[in-house]
Structure 1
Amino acid sequence: MTAIHQQPSRGLTPLLVPVLIGGLVMLALGVYGRAHTPTGFAVGVAGFSAALPMKVWLTTGAFVLAIVQVVSAMSMWGKLGVTIPPGVHRWSGRLAFILTIPVAFHCLYALGLQYDVPRVLAHSLLGCFFYGLFTAKMLALPKQGTPGWTLPVLGGLSFTVLVGLWLTSSFWFFTAVGLKV
């Protein structure tokens, strides 16, 4: 009788904690954004004429870096035929995330979660979803036993949500108001 070697199951169990914590982050941001009384004034817009242009340009920077993330991830997974150093992926992701922090802080602190205008509601919900998703992705990164599709799916979703955030904010601003700094 020959023993058959089976690989351990790569079920969804290792994703349970990262997804639950990401969900809690998303929920906490939404609840805070809704329950907190918005201040209505900007926080730290150094170098910009106002808060809205600051948010628009920082989000655009994060959007461009997210494109670098997709291209470098495709390179890491061998989909481009070109090798991009892994540091490019790590640092573009770090910088993109850092650019989103003042934007999110201002949105939550000065504006709160708004639901009066469909575009703004979509933007508010996408923002909460982005940080919950990003949390889940970062917590899933070092986990052993996660399914092979985990990082491509969570990374792809993060990119898609960031594109949605950019479309409902920066793209809207550029087309409705213009290119202001």
Structure 2
Amino acid sequence: MLIGAAVAVALGVYGKVHDPRFFSVNVAGFSSPTAVKTWLATLATALALFQFASALCMYGKIRGFAPSWIGVAHVWSGRLAVLASVPVAVHCLYALGFHEYQTRVLLHSLFGCFFYGAFVAKMLLLTRKGLPGWVIPVAGGLTLTGLIGIWLTSALWFFQNNGIIF
């Protein structure tokens, strides 16, 4: 848990003290780099919500629905969610940095640091044996909470101000 907290703090400090250097995360077919980031964040969030639903199946919280493939789908949806989030995070961290000039932007910066710290902690906890049964679900819930916070303070804002555009 301390390593995850250290990652979150390190990202925040780096984002705050370095000089942002603008570069673009642009993909053909999208109207702007912000649209690319918005849709990648939305993809990551949708995959994370699938992670939540598949975890409920794996832990027996959704009765009568636990197909044999759910564990594999859970792992791969998590990998794809993180993969989709990395270009967004890199752009936010290096090109924009950590800011607090608006409440939404401050929350977005905090959620971003929290998400990656929680993610690192969860991945490290997965390698530990003998943990109480509640530890991994709580770590996953915290990771999901961070990503939902990121999405609410960025992609939702973009959709509300620009419509659903590509």
TM-score bracket, normalised by the shorter chain, equals over 0.9
Structure 1 partner of 2:60 = 78
Superposition map of 1:24-43 within 5 A: 24-42=6-24
**Shift, 1:157, TM fit:** 1.2
SS at match of 1:155: helix
Determine the C-alpha separation between the residues in 1 that align with 2:99 and 2:34: 16
Determine the C-alpha separation between the residues in 1 that align with 2:20 and 2:32: 17
SS at match of 1:55: helix
Which one of the candidate residues 30, 36, 42 is aligned to 1:54?
36
Displacement over 6 Å in runs of 4+: none
Q: Letter of the aligned partner of 1:156 in structure 2?
A: G
Structure 1 partner of 2:49 = 67
Q: Which runs of 5+ in 1 are unaligned?
A: 1-18
Determine the C-alpha separation between the residues in 2 that align with 1:177 and 1:77: 39
Q: Give the alignment's TM-score, normalised by structure 1.
A: 0.86
Structure 2 partner of 1:22 = 4
Determine the C-alpha separation between the residues in 1 that align with 2:46 and 2:3: 27
Structure 2 partner of 1:8 = none
Q: Letter of the aligned partner of 2:74 in structure 1?
A: H
Q: Letter of the aligned partner of 2:66 in structure 1?
A: T
Q: Letter of the aligned partner of 2:50 in structure 1?
A: V
Query: Is the 8 Å Cα contact of residues 27 and 33 (structure 2) preserved in structure 1?
Result: no
- Number of paired residues? 162
Structure 2 partner of 1:45 = 26
Q: How high is the sequence identity, in percent, across the aligned residues? A: 51
Q: Letter of the aligned partner of 1:129 in structure 2?
A: F
Superposition map of 1:126-165 within 5 A: 126-165=111-150
Superposition map of 1:81-96 within 5 A: 81=63, 82-84=65-67, 85=69, 86-96=71-81
**Shift, 1:40, TM fit:** 2.9
